[in-house]
């Protein structure tokens, strides 16, 4: 892609680069001081770290705004199609470093802060994570926002401005305790409040008929108010908007009641309305089916559609053009009410014929499926849908009936057992439906959506996930990035497949040494951090074995833990057998209502305590469970990893995205043939990937074998020994029966086939021990993983959506000198 670096050009005034940089840093220092003084109302002597952090953020935001306006203007004047990404979750993490790096202002900021007697790293560390998401799905949306900007695709992200993001996790005597998250406590630095962009949204009531026309008489209303965060591209070439909705009451405060002394009651409508955007549901791949959740879904979806239509109608006067001007992506089924709502807006409110409204809506909408797990597929009771959204319930029936007409024989329906199946509804109302890895997409076709796929064989397409290299390589791993740029130049940052150019250098004296040195130093940093933060001493040259993700049975943290226990016992029995030293690192949150996952959390902590206290095994094995896993912690851990644990039961992990981040940063994968692991292995080569375990087909067959778990335990003394230790209370002497639920489940039911895959997993780990002992060979494999993983950039994924689903084109901001018209 040829594109000029508007950010740099605009910011580097004249003369030599150094002189330009000095001017830039002096400018930046002045604007930091100006924001501190006039926006925050603080004198430098009185300012605290967060004041400086906010002042720096405002100074950078100021430099984003011109690019942002220019991008918006270009999009408007070009008449290009806009992309709308509707997502219940955006797991953005921190934004300061991202913005600074993308603007090319890192050195200037560093110098400006040094001038002010401050340290950039301290300031960066002060920023709270915006945790408006649970895990992979939310983080994908955040990577996509950054890539949409970087490839120059005019786009809006739409979501909810939760007052409280994902809970904070603490361990109290090894148990997970949830605490509310409060990212808005300090002044949010990136967003613009848009008091003028607000929509009234209705719930409940009933529908009457008036001359053949349906009229909805709702009984409840709230207001959705917009907050905009600009998302700047790499090198400041383009900026898009993340627009998050906050719920407000239609009628604010009740002064009459207040004056009567009913103070709490006077504020009630306010509190009630705000409930809708109060808190993120903390469930990942499970569904709760709560009324408030449905309200949240409708709230942000309907507000976004209103906004999309408003923008369209300001620019065009023929509704038939809508599909050429708006591509609306539904991130899972959470915004699937967009189908009926859009039909309602076009048909009920704008008078388009019903059939045409359905066709028009479908031509705009597309749907990404992120899981096939039955417990995660959204279904809403018809009576609830009817009570909350009576007109939508009618339209869902009409959409379903219109779809049924096209079916020659057996019916697929979005309505079953008194429930609305949101996956089916989303499918029927989308012109394209995509899976997030090659395997997952094939499984969609053969399982959950088999019938619909037969009826619409061109609708399902694959778009394998990706991650943004700006955050996950360039910023997170400075040492590796410097080595890459020194070797092949800077072009890889927005053209990640250029990493392939590294491979010819592997034979050169020095390259692999420097690669190994970067990994070694990253590991030394993490070791120091573990010592200070966790009071845990580890050998920085040990194999760093990392499993970080939500705690879930299908992700099988407990299989990793069983292997850890078995390994510990074996080392203890034979300490001088030449063991490869390992540090097992875990991090992840359990959904507050997921009892089994919380028991796994407790068990990992109790096992860690016992193993870490064993002086005999200490040189060879340590276990760390880091609390409060979040984006920032991932950025710290991934560059220091040697081994990436991607060990889900085959067929269950739709894609995974952590797996891609690890491979790019030179960790080798131990993994099953699941999700994007399959594609990672194809690209890095089977000799550079530690494969084990059953395939998705074998998993299905194995479940049919009566007593499969008992058989597997019987056949593997190590597994039996580890389970027995847990069951006998070796790690919970205060309550020996504490984990009978866990051991009972594994020994009898074992739906996720932990026992049946254990032996293969153990053997893979021992192959890994041997491979790691040859450091030269290992580092070569690690470097190959980096060089061959460039395809997993979210830039590639976004270009795929643009070409295959959105039919959208990239734009460029006119450079200085070019005239806008
Ligand atoms: O989406 C990620 C994938 O990489 C992961 O494999 C997949 O597990 C994840 C309900 C979900 N699927 N489903 C969810 C999240 C929240 C919720 O309320 C379901 N998350 C995934 C990105 O494609």
Q: Judge if the beta carbon of residue 140 lies within 6 A of ligand 1.
A: yes
What is the C-alpha separation between 374 and 393, in angstroms, rounded?
23
- Same domain, yes or no: 535 and 438: no
391 domain residue, yes or no: yes
pLDDT for 27 beyond 60:
yes
Q: Judge if the beta carbon of residue 794 lies within 6 A of ligand 1.
A: no
Mutate to test the pocket of ligand 1, among 371, 549, 555 (most ligand atoms within 8 A of CB): 371
Q: What does the block give as tokens for 280?
A: 């993120």
Which of 250-264, 557-571, 596-610 is predicted with the least confidence, judged by mean pLDDT? 250-264
Q: Judge if the beta carbon of residue 646 lies within 6 A of ligand 1.
A: no
Contact partners, residue 332, CB within 8 Å, separation at least 6: 87, 88, 137, 367, 368, 369, 370, 371
**409, 436, 463 - which closes a domain:** 463
Contact partners, residue 374, CB within 8 Å, separation at least 6: none
453 domain residue, yes or no: yes
Other C-beta atoms lying within 10 Å of the C-beta of residue 571? 22
666-720 pLDDT tens trace? 999 999 999 999 999 999 999 999 999 999 999 999 999 999 999 999 999 999 9
Q: What does the block give as tokens for 719?
A: 């597994």
- Same domain, yes or no: 479 and 442: no
Is the predicted ipTM greater than 0.95, yes or no? yes
What is the C-alpha separation between 334 and 88, in angstroms, rounded?
6
pLDDT level of residue 193 (50, 70, 90 thresholds): very high
Q: Judge if the beta carbon of residue 370 lies within 6 A of ligand 1.
A: yes
Q: Is 38 helix (H, G, I), strand (E, B) or coil?
A: helix
**Which single residue is written with the structure tokens 């239509």?**
309
What is the 436 CA–ligand 1 centroid distance (Å)?
A: 10
- Same domain, yes or no: 362 and 255: yes
Count of residues in the chain:
821
DSSP-derived letter for residue 657 is S
341-366 pLDDT tens trace? 999 999 999 999 999 999 999 999 99
Q: Judge if the beta carbon of residue 467 lies within 6 A of ligand 1.
A: no
The pLDDT value recorded for residue 11 is 38
* Overall average pLDDT of the 130-154 stretch: 98
What is the 677 CA–ligand 1 centroid distance (Å)?
A: 16
Residue 625 is part of which domain span? 469-792
- Same domain, yes or no: 444 and 478: no
Q: Is 796 helix (H, G, I), strand (E, B) or coil?
A: helix
* Overall average pLDDT of the 99-126 stretch: 97
**463, 498, 518 - which closes a domain:** 463
47 domain residue, yes or no: no
The pLDDT value recorded for residue 16 is 56
What is the 286 CA–ligand 1 centroid distance (Å)?
A: 9
738 domain residue, yes or no: yes
Q: Judge if the beta carbon of residue 790 lies within 6 A of ligand 1.
A: no
The pLDDT value recorded for residue 271 is 82
Q: Judge if the beta carbon of residue 655 lies within 6 A of ligand 1.
A: yes
Q: Which atom of ligand 1 is nearest to the CA of 440?
A: 6
Assess contact for 133 and 280: CB atoms under 8 A: yes
What is the 136 CA–ligand 1 centroid distance (Å)?
A: 6
pLDDT for 49 beyond 80:
yes
- Same domain, yes or no: 457 and 476: no
Mean pLDDT of the chain: 95
Backbone dihedral region for residue 351 (phi beyond 0: left; psi -120 to 50: alpha; all else: beta): left
Q: Which residue has the higher pLDDT, 755 or 283?
A: 755
Q: In 269-400, where do the E strands start and end?
A: 326-331, 365-368, 379-381
Mutate to test the pocket of ligand 1, among 138, 654, 678 (most ligand atoms within 8 A of CB): 654
377 domain residue, yes or no: yes
- Output the residue whose Cα is nearest ligand 1's atom 17: 284
774-815 pLDDT tens trace? 999 999 999 999 999 999 999 999 999 999 999 999 998 776
Spell out the long-range contacts of 412-416 with Cβ–Cβ below 8 A and sequence spacing 24 or more. Answer: 412/451, 412/452, 412/455, 415/382
DSSP-derived letter for residue 615 is T
- Same domain, yes or no: 627 and 748: yes
Q: Judge if the beta carbon of residue 134 lies within 6 A of ligand 1.
A: yes
What is the C-alpha separation between 388 and 173, in angstroms, rounded?
43
- Same domain, yes or no: 396 and 503: no
- Mapping DSSP onto H, E and C, the string for 71-119 reads HHHHHHHHCCCEEEEECCCEEEECCHHHHHHHHCCHHHHHHHHHHCCCC
Q: Is 70 helix (H, G, I), strand (E, B) or coil?
A: helix
Helix (H) or strand (E) holding 384: helix 382-388
- Same domain, yes or no: 484 and 459: no
The pLDDT value recorded for residue 14 is 37
Q: Which atom of ligand 1 is nearest to the CA of 286?
A: 10
pLDDT level of residue 8 (50, 70, 90 thresholds): very low
- Same domain, yes or no: 378 and 492: no
- Output the residue whose Cα is nearest ligand 1's atom 11: 285
Structurally, the chain folds into a number of domains equal to 2
**Which single residue is written with the structure tokens 């002992």?**
773
253 domain residue, yes or no: yes
- Output the residue whose Cα is nearest ligand 1's atom 5: 656
520 domain residue, yes or no: yes
| 815 CB burial (10 A radius; 0-12, 13-18, 19+) | middle
What is the C-alpha separation between 802 and 317, in angstroms, rounded?
25
What is the C-alpha separation between 375 and 286, in angstroms, rounded?
6
Q: Which atom of ligand 1 is nearest to the CA of 436?
A: 23
- Same domain, yes or no: 557 and 611: yes
pLDDT for 589 beyond 70:
yes
- Residues annotated as catalytic are 370, 549-550, 555, 657, 661
What proportion of the chain, given as a percentage, has pLDDT over 90? 90
Q: Judge if the beta carbon of residue 126 lies within 6 A of ligand 1.
A: no
- Same domain, yes or no: 259 and 288: yes
What is the C-alpha separation between 659 and 141, in angstroms, rounded?
17
What CATH number corresponds to the domain at position 743?
Answer: 3.40.50.2000
Chain center to CA of 655: 12
What is the C-alpha separation between 547 and 623, in angstroms, rounded?
11
The alpha carbon dihedral of 186, 192, 195, 201 has a sign of negative
What is the 87 CA–ligand 1 centroid distance (Å)?
A: 12
Q: Is 3 helix (H, G, I), strand (E, B) or coil?
A: coil
pLDDT for 182 beyond 50:
yes
| 27 CB burial (10 A radius; 0-12, 13-18, 19+) | middle
Q: Is 387 helix (H, G, I), strand (E, B) or coil?
A: helix
Q: Which residue has the higher pLDDT, 146 or 814?
A: 146
**Helices in 613-675 by DSSP H: which ranges?**
631-637, 658-664
pLDDT for 189 beyond 90:
yes
pLDDT level of residue 19 (50, 70, 90 thresholds): low
211 domain residue, yes or no: yes
What proportion of the chain, given as a percentage, has pLDDT over 70? 97
Q: Judge if the beta carbon of residue 137 lies within 6 A of ligand 1.
A: yes
Q: Which residue has the higher pLDDT, 643 or 186?
A: 643
pLDDT for 401 beyond 90:
yes
**417, 445, 463 - which closes a domain:** 463
- Same domain, yes or no: 429 and 288: yes
Over the range 668-700, which residues count as b (16 or more CB within 10 Å of their CB) and which as e? bbbbbbbbbbbbbbebbeeebbbebbbebebbe
The pLDDT value recorded for residue 18 is 63
The pLDDT value recorded for residue 816 is 54
pLDDT level of residue 82 (50, 70, 90 thresholds): very high
């Amino acid at each position: 892609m040829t594109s000029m670096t508007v950010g740099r050009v605009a910011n580097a005034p004249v003369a030599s680069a150094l002189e330009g940089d000095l001017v830039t840093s002096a400018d930046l220092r002045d604007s930091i001081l100006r924001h501190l003084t006039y926006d925050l109302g603080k004198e430098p002597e009185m300012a605290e770290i967060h004041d400086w952090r906010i002042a720096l953020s405002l100074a950078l935001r100021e430099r984003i705004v011109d690019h942002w306006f220019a991008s918006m203007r270009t999009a408007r004047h070009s008449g290009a199609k806009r992309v709308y990404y509707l997502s219940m979750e955006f797991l953005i993490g921190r934004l300061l470093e991202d913005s600074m790096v993308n603007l090319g202002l890192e050195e200037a900021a560093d110098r400006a802060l040094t001038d002010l007697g401050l340290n950039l790293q301290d300031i960066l560390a002060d920023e709270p994570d915006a945790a408006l998401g649970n895990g992979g799905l939310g983080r994908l949306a955040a990577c996509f926002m950054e890539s949409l900007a970087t490839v120059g695709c005019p786009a809006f992200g739409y979501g909810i401005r939760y007052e409280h993001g994902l809970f904070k996790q603490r361990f109290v005597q090894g148990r997970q305790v949830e605490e509310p998250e409060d990212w808005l406590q300090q002044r949010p630095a990136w967003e613009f409040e848009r008091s003028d962009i607000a929509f009234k949204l209705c719930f409940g009531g009933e529908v009457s008929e008036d001359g053949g026309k349906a009229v909805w008489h709702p009984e409840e209303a709230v207001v959705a108010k917009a907050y905009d965060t600009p998302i700047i591209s790499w090198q400041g070439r383009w900026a898009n908007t993340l627009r998050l909705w906050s719920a407000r009451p239609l009628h604010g405060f009740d002064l009459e009641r207040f004056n009567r002394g009913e103070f709490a009651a006077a504020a009630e409508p306010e509190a009630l309305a705000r409930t809708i955007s109060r808190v993120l549901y903390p469930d990942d791949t499970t569904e709760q089916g709560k009324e408030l959740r449905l309200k949240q879904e409708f709230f942000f979806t309907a507000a976004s559609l209103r906004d999309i239509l408003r923008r369209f109608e300001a620019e065009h006067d023929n509704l038939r053009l809508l599909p050429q001007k708006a591509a609306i992506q539904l991130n899972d089924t959470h915004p699937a009410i967009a189908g009926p709502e859009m039909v309602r807006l076009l048909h009920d409110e704008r008078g388009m014929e019903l059939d045409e409204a359905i066709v028009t809506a479908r031509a705009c909408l597309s749907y990404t499926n992120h899981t096939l797990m039955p417990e995660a597929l959204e279904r809403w009771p018809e009576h609830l849908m009817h009570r909350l959204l009576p007109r939508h319930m009618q339209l869902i029936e009409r959409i379903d009936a219109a779809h049924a007409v096209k079916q020659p024989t057996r019916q697929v329906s979005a309505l079953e057992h008194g429930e609305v199946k949101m996956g089916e509804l989303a499918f029927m109302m989308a012109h394209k439906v995509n899976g997030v890895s090659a395997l997952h997409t094939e499984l969609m076709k053969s399982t959950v959506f088999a019938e619909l796929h037969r009826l619409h064989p061109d609708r399902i397409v694959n778009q394998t996930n990706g991650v943004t290299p700006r955050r996950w390589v360039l910023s997170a791993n400075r040492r590796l990035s410097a080595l890459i740029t020194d070797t092949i130049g800077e072009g890889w940052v927005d053209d990640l497949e250029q990493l392939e150019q590294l491979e010819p250098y592997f034979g050169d004296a020095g390259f692999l040494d420097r690669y190994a040195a970067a990994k070694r130093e990253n590991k030394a940093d993490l070791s120091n951090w573990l010592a200070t933060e966790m009071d845990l001493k580890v050998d920085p040259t040990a194999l760093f074995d990392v499993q970080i993700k939500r705690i879930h049975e299908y992700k099988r943290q407990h299989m990793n833990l069983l292997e850890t226990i078995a390994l510990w016992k074996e080392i203890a029995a034979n300490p001088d057998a030449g063991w490869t030293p390992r540090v097992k690192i875990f991090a992840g949150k359990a959904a507050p209502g997921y009892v089994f996952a919380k028991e796994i959390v407790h068990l990992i902590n109790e096992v860690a305590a016992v193993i870490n206290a064993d002086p005999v095994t200490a040189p060879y094995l340590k276990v760390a469970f880091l609390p409060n896993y979040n984006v920032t912690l991932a950025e710290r851990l991934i560059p220091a990893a040697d081994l990436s644990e991607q060990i889900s039961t085959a067929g269950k992990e739709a894609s995974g995205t952590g797996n891609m981040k690890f491979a790019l940063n030179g960790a080798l994968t131990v993994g099953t043939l699941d999700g994007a692991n399959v594609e990672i292995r194809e690209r890095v080569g089977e000799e550079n990937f530690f494969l084990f375990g059953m395939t998705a087909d074998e998993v299905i067959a194995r479940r049919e074998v009566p007593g499969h778990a008992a058989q597997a335990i019987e056949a593997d003394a190590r597994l039996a020994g580890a389970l027995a230790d847990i069951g006998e209370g070796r790690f919970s002497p205060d309550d020996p029966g504490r984990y009978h639920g866990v051991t009972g489940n594994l020994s009898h039911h074992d739906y996720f086939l932990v026992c049946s895959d254990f032996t293969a997993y153990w053997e893979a780990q021992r192959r890994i021990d041997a491979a790691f002992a040859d450091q030269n060979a290992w580092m070569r494999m690690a470097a190959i993983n980096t060089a061959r993983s460039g395809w997993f950039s979210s830039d590639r994924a976004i270009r795929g959506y643009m070409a295959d689903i959105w039919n959208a084109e990239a734009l460029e901001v006119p450079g200085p000198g070019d005239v806008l018209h």
